């Protein structure tokens, strides 16, 4: 059975959210962020980033690739737009955008907020990431001018990707929520109100 190494609130949320949307079988191995990883995990992912997926001989550790693998292997699913769909390339762009452009840079804020000495928590990098986020969240708002979701009016993997990033940024301690437009906060509520998301939050 497909196995996900999972730490709540980490990027493994994306994989479990999708699996719940699709009703596909899976098992989890619980992790704690910041705690030592088990030997099997380190064997496959020495970077120690979460998630890690093992499905038979297939081992993956990038959350977006894991979602594409799940959709392709356990689908078909309407959550993955096919190559001939009119919105396919917008869908693929926002699928990648959610991590590479939106959520990825927030790692600098997370590390600084939780690990840096108090006298280093305010610095140029923090300001640069916040400024960049203020511009990048505008891409999400622009997409919502054209539909309810990232690839039009249909919920897709791109919304799991972007929704995770927006939800991460909305955590109060990161001091980014004031940069998120109201239309994007309304979008966030739409995606996190989904039953599959709510089930995902109960997975430990």
* Average pLDDT per block of 10 residues along the chain, 204 residues long: 97 98 98 94 97 98 98 98 97 98 96 90 92 98 98 98 98 95 98 98 95
Q: What is the CATH architecture assignment of 88-194?
A: Up-down Bundle (1.20)
CA distance 201 to 20: 11
What's the pLDDT at 121? 86
pLDDT score recorded for residue 84 = 97
Both tokens of 99, joined, read 């991590």
Residue range 3-77, CATH number: 3.40.30.10
pLDDT of residue 178: 97
- CATH 1.20.1050.10 placement within the chain: 88-194
Place of tokens 């966030």: 188
Q: List Cα–Cα distances, 51 to 77, 100, 178, 185, in angstroms.
A: 22, 15, 29, 26
- The model's pTM is 0.96
Contact at 8 Å (CB) between 151 and 87?
yes
φ, ψ (nearest 5 deg) of residue 6: -130, 130
Domain with CATH 3.40.30.10 in the chain: 3-77
Residue 180: the pLDDT is 98
DSSP string, 96-126: HHIIIIIITTHHHHHHHHHHS-GGGSS-HHH
């Amino acid at each position: 059975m497909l196995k996900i190494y999972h730490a709540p609130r980490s990027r493994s949320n994306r994989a479990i959210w999708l699996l719940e949307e699709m009703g596909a079988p899976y098992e989890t191995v619980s992790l704690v962020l910041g705690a030592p990883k088990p030997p099997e995990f380190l064997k496959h992912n020495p970077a120690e980033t979460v998630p890690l997926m093992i499905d038979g001989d297939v081992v993956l550790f990038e959350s977006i690739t894991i979602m594409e693998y799940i959709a392709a292997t356990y689908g078909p699913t309407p959550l993955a737009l096919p190559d001939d769909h009119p919105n396919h390339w917008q869908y693929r762009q926002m699928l990648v955008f959610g991590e590479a452009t939106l959520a990825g840079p927030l790692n600098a804020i997370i590390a600084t907020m939780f690990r840096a000495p108090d006298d280093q928590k305010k610095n140029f990098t923090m300001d640069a990431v916040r400024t960049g986020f203020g511009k990048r969240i505008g891409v999400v708002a622009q997409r919502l001018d054209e539909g309810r979701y990232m690839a039009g009016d249909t919920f897709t993997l791109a919304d799991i990707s972007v929704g995770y990033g927006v939800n991460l940024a909305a955590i109060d301690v990161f001091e980014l929520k004031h940069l998120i437009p109201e239309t994007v906060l309304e979008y966030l509520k739409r995606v996190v109100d989904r039953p599959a998301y709510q089930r995902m939050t109960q997975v430990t």
